[in-house]
Amino acid sequence: MSDTGNAPATPPLDRLIAGYHRFRETGWNPHRERWSTLREGQQPEVMVIACSDSRVDPSQIFDVDPGEIFVVRNVAALVPPFETTPGHHGVSAALEFAVQVLKVREIIVMGHGMCGGCKAALTQELYGAEPGQGGFVANWISLLDDARDEVAHKHGTEGRPAERAMEQAGVKVSLENLRSFPCVAQKEAKGSLKLRGAFFAISDGLLHLLDEATGEFAPVE
């Protein structure tokens, strides 16, 4: 859908309201029973950590119904390490809730192609920026600094091979950081929680899964 010529563009909220009406028609009314069950509470078995990027919506990619996946999205699909320093640990709070209260059985970290956050980590173009001028992003993606140095050493800091290596290394960093949370490590050791790395390639719409034994991502069969 695109606006052509000099016609005034439809205001974004109007497009969203039109979508809401479609949802009421097809997503709500025919599924009232399901929604009334969901009113009692949620029991998702999977937590997905994904990027905020508008092109990689986990509910769409996995074609799931409401109540099926518990999702956290942020710049570059990152999980910070377990930290007890003062601060507002949003990802850690969601993780704690998913693991301890919802008792999800799997956590999927899904990186993606053409990730702006990963690219900025690679080029360090926001390095030194003031908060509100790129500084918040710079600080957030500094979680990737160690991995970035390895990628830059191997592939340089420009071009798709380097960017994809950074995007996939980011998934591994998040998995490693997930395991720094005692509740995650304990449940994984017991076998009641599985961690998975995934990568969605926007250009061809293919989902790749990480084989942690080899460190390689391969397209899902």
Q: ∠16-20-25 over CA atoms, to 5°?
A: 150
Q: Choose one: 51-59, 78-86, 136-144, 177-185; the region binding Zn ion (CB under 5 A).
A: 51-59
Chain centre distance of CA 149 = 22
167 binds Zn ion per the rule CB under 5 A: no
Whether the Cβ atoms of residue 67 and residue 43 lie closer than 8 Å to each other? yes
115 vs 193, beta carbon nearer Zn ion: 115
Neighbours of 196 (CB within 10 A): 16
Binders in 93-152 for Zn ion, by CB under 5 A: 115, 117
Binding residues for Zn ion, rule CB under 5 A, total 4
58 vs 187, beta carbon nearer Zn ion: 58
53 vs 163, beta carbon nearer Zn ion: 53
163 binds Zn ion per the rule CB under 5 A: no
Tell me which H or E stretch contains 198.
Answer: strand 194-201
Q: Backbone dihedral region of 45: left (phi > 0), alpha (psi from -120 to 50 degrees) or beta? A: alpha
- Six-digit token string for 70: 């518990």
Return the residue of 47, 50, 51, 173 that touches Zn ion, per CB under 5 A: 51
56 vs 98, beta carbon nearer Zn ion: 56
Give me the residues that bind Zn ion (CB under 5 A), please. Answer: 51, 53, 115, 117
